[in-house]
Structure 1
Amino acid sequence: MKMNKFFMLGLAGLAFAACNNEEELSNQLPEGTGAVTINIVSPAMTRSVETGTTDNSVTVTGPVTITLAATTGGGSITLTEQELAAQNSVTFWNVESPTKVTVTMNNGKNSYTSDAPTVFEDVAPASIPAYGETSSFTLTSETASPGDKGGSDYETGANGSDNSKVYQLYTASVQLAIPVARLEVSGIQHITGSHLEGDCAYNTLTIAGVYLDNVYATGNGVAYANGAFSCASGTPTDYSYDGVHGTGSEAIWKDAAVTTDFLSVDAVWPETAGEAYSYYFFGADGAENLPKFKIYFSESEAKDTDSPLPAPRYAMITKYKETAENGGSEITKFEPGHIYRITSAQLSDENIIGDEGGNTLYGVEVTVEEATWTVKTIDAEWAD
C-alpha cells in the first residue's frame, strides 16, 4: 500500500528542539501525493514617544500565515488571533513533495536589504514583524488519520476516502526571528552643580528634542538565515537634528521635547511617567556602528559672560554598558530581536557641549537593561 503524506508544522518562540530517537531526513523527502497539517498551540502569554516595555520579554501577537511550498499542492492559510485561540490545526491535503514551510507574523519577510527602517514607524512592540522558514524534516514513529486532526474550516484538498488512511508523521521546526532592534530611552535629567564649584554654568538652556545619529539608512545585509536576522552592513549614516545645524541630513528618528527648560528643577524627559523615546533600527555590530542618542539644545545663555556657551549645544550617549548583574562590560553590538532600555541618563554641565560631531571625551555613559521578543508557539509534524 502506497502511503500518503501530511505535515504538521511547528514554531516555538526563538528555539526548537527535535524529538529524541528520530531519523534525520533533511531534504530527501519521499515522493508521492500526501497532505500537510499544521498544529497551532495557544500563545504563552516606533518611533514616537510611547509607553516603554517593562518585562524581560515582549510577546509578539497578530495573524499568522503558514505557507507550504511543494511540487504539487501546498498553498497558504492565514489565521487571526481569534482563530488561533479557537482552532488548533490547519491541514493541506494531497500535497506532493513538499520542499519548504515559511511562517510569517505581521507581514514579516526574509530580507530587508532595500528597506528603510521607517517601515517600522509607529509599530507597537507586540506587533513587530516576525519571520521563519525551514526545509528540513525529521521522521517519527507516530501515525494518524485525517479525521484525527479535525477542523473542516481549516482544511483544504482532502477527499472523503482519506479518512480511512493512516499517515506516518514527520516533524519540522521553524525559528521565528525579529529583523530589528529597539532602543528605549527615559530618565533624562540635568544635574546642577557639575564641575563649576557647585553652581550651574547656564542661565538658560532650552532642549528642543532628541534624535539618533549614526544609524543605517537601509537594511543592506539584513536577511534571515539559520533562524536569525543578520545585522546591517556598511557604514551608518550621519544625521543631525534638523539637517541645518551640525552635519548630516535631518534625522529620521527624532522627537521634540514638550517641556523645553532643561534647567527646570526635577524635570525629566520624556515628561510623562512610563514613557520612553523609542526607536526601531536595523542591528549594528561594532562600537563604531552603534546608534548615537543625542540631545539638541536650541538656546543657551552662560552665567559667565566672559565664557559664553553659544547654542546650538548637544549632549550624547557615547557608551552603552551592561548592568552590573550581567558583568558591566561595554555593549558593542545591538542585536536584532533585542530591546535595549536606558532608564537613567543624567547630564552634568560638562556633558553639554557645542560639538555635534561626537566628542566622546564629554559623552554620557549609560547602563542598559536588555530584553528580548518572543513569539507564538506552533508545533509541527509531517507524515508519510
Structure 2
Amino acid sequence: MKFNKLFMLGLLGLTFAACSSDDNDAQLPDKDSKVYVSLSIGTAKSRSLGESAVGKYNTIENLKIMFYDGSEQYVPYAWDDAARAKAIEDLKSDAHQTTITLEGVPASAQSIYIIANEMSNNPIGTGTLSEARATKIFLKNQYKEDFTEFSNESSTLTGLTSYFGKDLSKPIEVELVPIAARMEVKNFIAKTAPDTYLGNDIENFNVLGIYMNNFYTEGELQGSLDDNRPHKDYGSVADNYTLAKYTADGYDFMCNEPSYDATNGNAVSAASTTVGEIWKVSPKATTKWWGYSALRGVPPHMVIKLDVKYANIEARQTRFLTVASYKLKTPSAEGKDKLESIERGHAYQIENCTFDATNLTENPYEEAVTIEALVTVAQWTGVPIEPEFN
C-alpha cells in the first residue's frame, strides 16, 4: 500500500545585490557583473496520508540557474560546479538556506530562471523562455517511489523573475513553485438519507478504494492548457477501479485501497457520534490525508468504491461514489464558486466527503448521482473544507 504525501516546498527567496549609483537609481550593470544570490527553503504547511509533512523541507538534489536577455533568448552562463555543490549541501542542512556568488554574469542578462530537481529524463528547455515554458511535463516523473519522508520530496520546482529596471540595491525575489498540484481527501461520512428516499438506508460501510480518474498524464510547464492533451480515463466500468489495474498502467500512485487491520491497517471504520450521521471512515492517524498529484488544468475526478451494508439486507454490496465537480469554499476574486482549473503549487482539499444512500450507484458515473464536493484552495496549507451535493 502506498500513501502519497503532499508537496513539501514553500517559497524560495532570492536576493540580488549589485553596485549602484549614489542615488540608488534603478539600473542594469553595463558590464559583466557579480551577482549575489541568497537561497532559502520554507517549511511545508500541508500534509497527506502517511507521515505529517508539517515542518519538513523539500530535498534539493540538483540546482540550475539560467539567464535570459530582453528578447527572452538564453544567455550562456557557466556556474562553478564547486559552488553549485556547496549550495545544494547548504540547502540540505538544518539551516535550509545558502548564499552563493555568481561571478561574471553577462550584462545582456535581464531575467534569471531557477530550476530545482530537474529530472534527467525530463529536462527543462533552455533555448528561449517560450521553449522553457512549453517543456513537456509528465505526471509519473513527479512521484518518487522510494521516498524518505513524502512522495513528492524530489519533484521539480521552478521560479522566474526579471530584474530589468529594478533597484538592484534591494532584494529581488523569485518564487519557486512545484510543477504539480495536489488533490486530497480525509474523511468519508454517510449521513441519514432524506425522507423522500424509499429504499433501505445505509447501516455501515467500508471504503474499498479511492481512485483518481480523468487525470492528465502530461502537460506543459507553464504553457498551453489544451484539453486534448493525454489523460487517463477509466470510464464507467466498475472492474477498472482496482489497485491491480492502476498498477498495470503505471499509475498505482493515483489510488489507495485502505486497510482496516487492527495492527497494521491505515484506516478506521466506525459509527459516527454526530447527529444526522451514520458511519465514518477516516485515516487511523487523525492528522493525515489521502493525497494525489495532478497537473494544472481541469480538475481530475475522484471515484470511491464502497462495501455497503444496508439496513434490513443481509448481504453487503459494492457501490460507487463519484466526485466529478468541485466548489470552492471561498469564491474566487471573480466571484466564481466552481473549481474550473487547478494550478501548480496549490493543494485542493476535501476534509469531509459526506454522502447518503441516494448518491451511491452500482457503477461509476451513473447519471444524476455525481456529487459536488466543496473544496478550499490552499497554497501549500492544509485547510478544512465541507462537501456540497447536487
Deviations 1:134-155 (A, max 9, x none): 565446475xxxxxxxxxxxxx
What do you get for the CA RMSD once the two structures are aligned?
4.8
Q: 2:203, 2:94 → 1: CA distance?
A: 59
Report the CA distance between 1:256 and its aligned residue.
0.6
**Hey, which of these two has a bigger chunk of strand by percent?**
1
Decide which of 95, 116, 139 is 1:116's aligned counterpart. 139
Question: What residue is the counterpart of 1:105 in the other structure?
Answer: 116
Q: 2:179, 2:357 → 1: CA distance?
A: 38
Q: 2:195, 2:168 → 1: CA distance?
A: 73
Q: 1:259, 1:41 → 2: CA distance?
A: 41
Is 1:131 equivalent to 2:158 in the alignment? Answer: yes
Question: What residue is the counterpart of 2:258 in the other structure?
Answer: 257
Q: Of the two, which has the highest radius of gyration?
A: 1
Question: What residue is the counterpart of 1:322 in the other structure?
Answer: 328
Change beyond 3 A, Cα 1:139–1:30: farther
Deviations 1:192-221 (A, max 9, x none): 4445769844578553211111111x222x
Q: 1:136, 1:190 → 2: CA distance?
A: 54
Amino acid at match of 1:275: K
Question: What residue is the counterpart of 1:292 in the other structure?
Answer: 301
Question: What residue is the counterpart of 2:34 in the other structure?
Answer: 35
Amino acid at match of 1:213: N
Decide which of 233, 237, 242 is 2:232's aligned counterpart. 237
Question: What residue is the counterpart of 1:191 in the other structure?
Answer: 191
Q: 1:338, 1:38 → 2: CA distance?
A: 26
Report if the CA contact (8 A) 2:326-2:338 is conserved: yes
Deviations 1:292-345 (A, max 9, x none): 11111367778469xxx9954211123311225776822111111111111111
> SS in structure 2 opposite 1:275?
coil
Q: 1:112, 1:72 → 2: CA distance?
A: 20
Question: What residue is the counterpart of 1:214 in the other structure?
Answer: 214
Report the CA distance between 1:61 and its aligned residue.
3.7
Amino acid at match of 2:221: A
TM-score (norm 2): 0.62
Is 1:368 equivalent to 2:378 in the alignment? Answer: no
Amino acid at match of 1:50: G
Decide which of 340, 347, 351 is 2:355's aligned counterpart. 347
Q: 1:276, 1:129 → 2: CA distance?
A: 22
> SS in structure 2 opposite 1:350?
helix
> SS in structure 2 opposite 1:239?
coil
Question: What residue is the counterpart of 2:179 in the other structure?
Answer: 179
Deviations 1:128-174 (A, max 9, x none): 531123565446475xxxxxxxxxxxxxxxxxxxxxxxxxxx97653
Report the CA distance between 1:279 and its aligned residue.
0.4
Change beyond 3 A, Cα 1:94–1:345: closer
Report the CA distance between 1:361 and its aligned residue.
1.5
Report if the CA contact (8 A) 1:104-1:131 is conserved: yes
Between the two structures, name the one with larger relative contact order (CA 8 Å, sep ≥ 6): 1
Change beyond 3 A, Cα 1:17–1:239: farther
Question: What residue is the counterpart of 1:65 in the other structure?
Answer: 63
Report if the CA contact (8 A) 2:326-2:373 is conserved: yes
Deviations 1:87-117 (A, max 9, x none): 7522233455564633233447646625234
Any stretches of 5+ residues in structure 1 without a counterpart?
Answer: 1-10, 143-169, 375-384
Amino acid at match of 1:237: K
Which is worse superposed, 344-353 or 67-76?
Answer: 67-76
Change beyond 3 A, Cα 1:343–1:95: closer
Change beyond 3 A, Cα 1:133–1:263: closer
Change beyond 3 A, Cα 1:296–1:40: closer
Change beyond 3 A, Cα 1:272–1:83: closer
Q: 2:47, 2:139 → 1: CA distance?
A: 13
Q: 1:246, 1:93 → 2: CA distance?
A: 55
> SS in structure 2 opposite 1:81?
helix
Identity of aligned residues (%): 17
Change beyond 3 A, Cα 1:187–1:337: same
Report if the CA contact (8 A) 1:73-1:95 is conserved: no
Deviations 1:49-91 (A, max 9, x none): 335778xxx9864437352555565445133325683975222
Amino acid at match of 2:218: G
Report if the CA contact (8 A) 1:207-1:296 is conserved: yes
Q: 2:94, 2:165 → 1: CA distance?
A: 25
TM-score (norm 1): 0.63
Report if the CA contact (8 A) 1:209-1:295 is conserved: yes
